[in-house]
Amino acid sequence: MIGRVDEINRVLIVAEELGAAKDLVALELVVEQCRTTVVEGRMPNHEETVLFCERLGLIERRGDDLGFTPSGNSFLQFNPGRIYDLSEEQRKVLLRTCYLHGPCRRETQRLLRGFLPAYDEGTFRWSEVDNAPLETDPWVWEHLLQLGLLTGTPSALVVSLEYGRTVAAFLEEGRGWSEEEFQEYLQEKLEVGDIAEDLVVAFEAERLEALGNTVEAKCVRRISRLRVNAGYDVESFDSTSKGLNYDRFIEVKCGKGPNLRFFWSENEMQIAKKRREQYWIYFQGGVDAKTRTAKNKPLVFQNPIENVLGNASLTKIPQGVIVQANLRGDEYRVAAPAAAAKP
């Protein structure tokens, strides 16, 4: 990812000089010309800048050639002097159309979800001392610092007062998931769901062993493959069970990221209403599909009808609810049983 956002101007100005505003020009010529233009001693990867411009919809590529899009043409018009630093107007356009909306919206949303309101100041703050680590790559907050949405340092970031209300509205918009985000969630569940269920079985066996319930620990089982509509995935025990009757029914939620984020379906909620105190949700975050491990303990919720649905931060949709928060399980490396690994 590009380090400095104003590198966009270097590519666009060079492309315009070569005629890209009216016709296609060779990508190789644009990159070569950019290399001959030194700005403040910077010599970045111009191919990356071209790709980023394409992602933002400022240029379009056709094979080995590129040309301006209408958005690219209008964006460059906010820089009448054709200087390499972004103009104030260009920064505002990028913020609104590419970061608060558009191709970088999701990264911006994930970043700002980690901030907490500073009510007395009318803004939002994040610090590495008081808040959970940010889930996004550093380039996101670096870009937002350059564009003026954020101020501060890498260890203490603040939303600029000018954008306090804008960010509040943006976060409210982002409480739900777009169709793209929901499909991404479903794909992630396909990739790590089986692993997460095995991890929870291992976690439950370890928990019961620690309580001295060795027999019960050996009897924890996954039922999701056999009873797909059961409304939960794992059957376990609270502690000692003389008759070995299962009394802990666990719906496993999961994610590659450590923070709480899952979809709870209407069917699962109906089962939870029937099971009440016996029904649990285990969110297994930090799942690594390659190693079949997780670095976080599961977050556990007993009787989630009361303890999850009562949370005002939930987003409700017709098919169920979306649950997400800046919560994560304690650091704890656990591996799925070797026998559960796929060949």
Does residue 260 surpass a pLDDT of 90? no
Domain tally, the chain = 3
What is d(CA 12, CA 21) in angstroms, rounded to the nearest whole number? 9
User: Does residue 297 fall inside a structural domain?
Assistant: yes
pLDDT classification of 339: cutoffs 50, 70, 90 = very low
User: For residue 35, what is the domain's CATH number?
Assistant: 1.10.10.10
Judge whether 94 lies within some domain.
no
Q: Count Cβ atoms within 10 A of the Cβ of residue 64 and give its class: 0-12 exposed, 13-18 middle, 19 or more buried.
A: exposed
Q: Is the pLDDT of residue 12 over 80?
A: yes
- pLDDT at residue number 97: 87
In a domain, 93, yes or no: no
Instruction: State yes or no: pLDDT of 280 exceeds 90.
Output: yes
Predicted local distance difference test score (pLDDT) of residue 101: 85
Query: 35-44, 182-191, 267-276: which range is least confident on average?
Result: 35-44
Contact between 155 and 142 (Cβ < 8 Å)? no
Per-residue pLDDT, averaged over 226-249, amounts to: 88
Local confidence band at 341 (pLDDT 50, 70, 90 cut-offs): very low
Name the E strands within 174-310: 221-222, 234-236, 248-254, 260-265, 279-284, 287-288, 293-296, 299-302
Domain that holds residue 156: 102-173
Instruction: For residues 190 and 290, state if they share a domain.
Output: yes
Q: How many angstroms separate the most distant Cα atoms in the chain?
A: 82
326 and 204 inside one domain: yes
pLDDT tens per residue across span 45-84? 888 998 899 899 998 888 888 888 889 888 999 999 988 8
- At 158 the pLDDT is 94
Report the pLDDT value the prediction gives residue 317, as an integer from 0 to 100. Answer: 58
Shared domain check, 269 and 188: yes
10 Å CB burial of residue 127 (0-12, 13-18, 19+) is: middle
Residue 35 φ then ψ, to 5°:
-65, -25
Query: What phi and psi values does residue 107 have, to the nearest 5 degrees?
Result: -65, -40
The arithmetic mean of pLDDT across residues 101-116, rounded, is 87
* pLDDT at 180 (0 to 100): 67
Instruction: State whether 271 and 286 are in the same domain.
Output: yes
pLDDT tens digits, residue range 156-191?
A: 999 999 898 888 888 776 556 666 666 777 788 888
At residue 319, the pLDDT reads: 56
pLDDT for residue 266: 84
Given this model, what pLDDT does residue 340 score? 42
**Is there a single domain that holds both residue 115 and residue 158?**
yes
For 75-104, how does the pLDDT look when each residue is reduced to its tens digit (9 = 90+)? 999 999 988 899 999 999 999 888 988 888
Indicate the residue among 131, 158, 173 that finishes a domain. 173
Helix or strand holding residue 80 (H, E): none
Question: Which residues on neighbouring strands pair with residue 324, listed in sequence order?
Answer: 261
Specify if 92 maps to a domain.
Answer: no
- Please report the pLDDT score of residue 343 as a whole number: 36
Q: Give yes or no: residues 332 and 183 share one domain.
A: yes
17 and 157 belong to one structural domain: no
In terms of Cα–Cα distance, which of 203, 243, 242, 244 is closest to 222? 203
- What pLDDT, in 10s, does the model give residues 297-321? 899 999 988 888 766 455 655 556 7
Is 154 a domain residue? yes
Is the same domain home to 324 and 224? yes
In a domain, 242, yes or no: yes
Indicate whether 142 belongs to any domain. yes
The β-bridge partners of 160 are: none
Same domain, 41 and 168: no
The answer to whether residue 210 sits within a structural domain is yes
- Calculate the average pLDDT of the chain: 84
Say if residue 191 is in the same domain as residue 323.
yes
**DSSP string spanning 29-65?**
HHHHHHHT--BTTB---HHHHHHHHHHTTSEEEETTE
69 and 24 fall within a common domain: yes
**Averaged pLDDT for residues 140-166:** 92
Q: Are residues 223 and 313 in the same domain?
A: yes
Among 173, 192, 214, residue at a domain's last position: 173
CA distance 92 to 149: 9
